[in-house]
């Protein structure tokens, strides 16, 4: 077996997740060796501009010297510890203070996990815990939306409104998926965007009344649905749903795993869409992809209620061995500084209009039905017929073909449904952006010529 190629070894010994297996069988895996700036290199020496920032998260590129130095220094100083039994590293304490400082909350508390999935799962357990402590153990139902993505643990996958989870027998009971607030795809004939938003809000209130407000633990929402295909909310969506949730005493949890720390053009997606959540879920950009970490950031009300619930039994019986890891926290502290103070956030705000304009020009292609997004997260929706919004036949695997063609041209993008997603690193320069436009445009024209 030692004579196998890198690609053959990957296929022989690895079980792929979220991977189109026909593409791997036909083309082989891409085995990556290193990265420079926004580029990655494979075992064949091929160079790719990664317009997906790894998996949304490598916002400072793949070899940022300051982040690497922060990791090395902390490994040399204190290489690992936990956050149990009232003991945690100084870096963990400093990061908790920083996260509350940069959050939209005037005060709060932070709990650490190893991923966004675990953070969403933890938030659900927190809600079940505190509702039971407050004498309302029946408040267990979780509201999310179709096409939402909240993770892959049994609980967070139950929150994720994607049909593929049915293969696991999910969702679990008590997880309710409301309509996806995607006006372009789901607006009714003659319905304005404002009317569509009102319909979404009416559906939320009707669901609350049907299920019983005293049975609902919380409403979780991504400011922009990321893995659902980069779907911004319809106009005024959060301004319509937030008062309804407040009316019935239902916490609003902002899942900022993708949106947080600059992806939408502000530190938080809830700032971009002007709503105040009760808690924030963070991961990905938090460590610029250099360390697996997730956090639950509780706002004042939930922080106080959670602390009171914990006091009743003298502990919160939940946690992870590596959560609050000192190296991860040191990296996160540096990553926040890099994004907010070393020009990355400024670069996003400066070049986001250029990114949108370049993609809008590409979207003039008659087989692009919609360009949607905000900041540094965008999607192009492929259609067979733009006027009717008719998608291509699923058997054509159009978005997968586009992504594979881009890969052949040295560009990494992501297929999602019938869409192609681009979420470039925050360090992207104007020439690199032009390179992305050129390769994407060529790939689209090539594939559409084959299938249209």
What whole-number distance in Å separates Cα of residue 244 and Cα of residue 224?
20
Residue 327 phi, psi (nearest 5): -70, -45
Confirm if 10 and 1 have CB atoms less than 8 A apart: no
DSSP 264-320: TSSSSHHHHTT---SEEEE-GGGGTTSS--EEEEE-HHHHHHHHHHHHHHTS-----
Where do you find CATH 3.90.1150.10 in the chain?
A: 31-63+343-451
DSSP one-letter string for 30-81:
--EEEEETTEEEETT--EEEETTHHHHT-TT-S--HHHHHHHHHHHHH----
- For the segment 238-294, what is each residue's pLDDT rounded down to a tens digit? 999 999 999 999 999 999 999 999 999 999 999 999 999 999 999 999 999 999 999
Q: Does residue 2 have a pLDDT over 90?
A: no
With a cut of 90, say whether residue 452 has pLDDT above it.
Answer: no
- With a pLDDT cut of 70, the percent of the chain lying above it is 100
Give me the mean pLDDT over the 214-231 stretch.
97
Distance, in Å, from the CA atom of 123 to the CA atom of 140, rounded to the nearest integer, reads 12
- Per cent of the chain over pLDDT 90 is 99
CATH topology of domain 68-341: 3.40.640
The region of weakest confidence among 2-6, 211-215, 428-432 is 2-6
C-alpha dihedral sign at 375, 270, 223, 117: positive
Angle (deg, nearest 10), helices 344-362 and 326-341: 70
Comma-separated ranges of CATH 3.40.640.10 domains in the chain: 68-341
4 has a pLDDT exceeding 60: yes
**C-alpha span between 198 and 201 (Å, rounded):** 5
Strand order in the sheet with 368-374: 368-374, 377-382, 419-422, 414-416
The CATH code for residues 31-63+343-451 is 3.90.1150.10
Q: At what angle do helices 193-211 and 237-247 cross, to 10 degrees?
A: 20
Instruction: Give the dihedral sign, CA 198/200/204/209.
Output: positive
How far is Cα 329 from Cα 337, in angstroms, rounded to an integer? Answer: 12
**pLDDT tens string 57-85:** 999 999 999 999 999 999 999 999 999 99
Q: Which helix (H) or strand (E) holds 21?
A: helix 21-27
> Listing from the earlier edge strand, what are the strands of the sheet with 411-412?
32-36, 39-42, 47-50, 411-412
List of residues 6+ apart from 124 with CB closer than 8 A: 142, 155, 156, 159, 217, 218
| C-alpha span between 442 and 427 (Å, rounded) | 24
Upper half-sphere CA count for residue 332 (Cβ side, 13 Å): 31
Helices (H) and strands (E) in the chain, counts: 16, 15
For residues 335 and 288, the answer to whether their CB atoms sit within 8 Å is: yes
What pLDDT, on the 0 to 100 scale, is given for residue 1? 53
| 129-152 confidence digits (pLDDT tens) | 999 999 999 999 999 999 999 999
Residue 264 backbone zone (phi > 0: left; psi -120 to 50: alpha; other: beta): alpha
What sections of 363-429 are H helices per DSSP? 398-408
Mean pLDDT over 398-419 rounds to 96
């Amino acid at each position: 077996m030692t004579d196998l190629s890198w690609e053959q070894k990957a296929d022989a010994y690895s079980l792929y997740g979220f991977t189109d297996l026909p593409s791997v069988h036909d083309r082989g895996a891409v085995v990556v060796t290193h990265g420079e700036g926004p580029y990655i290199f494979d075992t064949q020496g091929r160079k790719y501009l990664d317009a997906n920032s790894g998996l949304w998260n490598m916002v400072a590129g793949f070899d940022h010297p300051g982040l690497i130095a922060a990791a090395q220094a902390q490994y040399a100083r204190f290489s690992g510890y936990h956050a149990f039994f009232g003991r945690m590293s100084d870096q963990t304490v400093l990061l908790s203070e920083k996260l509350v400082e940069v959050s939209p909350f005037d005060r709060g508390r932070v709990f650490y996990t190893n991923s966004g999935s675990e953070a969403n799962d933890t938030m659900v357990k927190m809600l079940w815990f505190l509702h039971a402590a407050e004498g309302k153990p029946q408040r267990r139902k979780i509201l999310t939306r179709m096409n939402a993505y909240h993770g892959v643990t049994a609980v967070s996958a139950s929150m994720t409104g994607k049909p593929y989870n049915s293969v696991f027998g999910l969702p679990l009971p008590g997880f309710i998926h409301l309509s996806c607030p995607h006006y372009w795809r789901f607006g009714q004939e003659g319905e304005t965007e404002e009317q569509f938003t009102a319909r979404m809000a009416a559906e939320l209130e009707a669901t609350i009344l049907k299920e019983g407000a005293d049975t609902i633990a919380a409403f979780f929402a991504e400011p922009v649905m990321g893995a659902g295909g980069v779907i911004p909310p319809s106009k005024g969506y959060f301004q319509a749903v937030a008062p309804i949730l407040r009316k019935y005493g239902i916490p609003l949890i902002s899942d900022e795993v993708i949106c947080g720390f600059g992806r939408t053009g502000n530190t938080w997606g809830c700032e971009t869409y002007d709503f105040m959540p009760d808690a924030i879920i963070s991961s990905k950009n938090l460590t610029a992809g250099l360390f697996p970490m997730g956090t639950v950031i509780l706002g004042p009300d939930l922080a106080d209620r959670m602390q009171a619930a914990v006091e009743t039994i003298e502990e919160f019986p939940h946690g992870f061995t590596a959560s609050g890891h000192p190296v991860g926290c040191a990296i996160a502290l540096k990553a926040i500084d890099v994004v907010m103070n070393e020009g990355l956030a400024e670069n996003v705000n400066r070049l986001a209009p250029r990114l949108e304009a370049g993609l809008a020009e590409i979207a003039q292609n008659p087989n692009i039905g919609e360009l949607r997004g905000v900041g540094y997260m965008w999607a192009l929706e492929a259609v067979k017929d733009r006027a009717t919004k008719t998608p291509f036949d699923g058997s054509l695997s159009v978005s997968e073909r586009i992504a594979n063609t881009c890969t052949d041209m040295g560009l990494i993008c992501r297929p999602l449904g019938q869409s192609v997603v681009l979420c470039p690193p925050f360090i992207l320069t104007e020439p690199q952006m032009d390179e992305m436009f050129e390769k994407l445009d060529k790939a689209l024209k090539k594939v559409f010529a084959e299938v249209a």
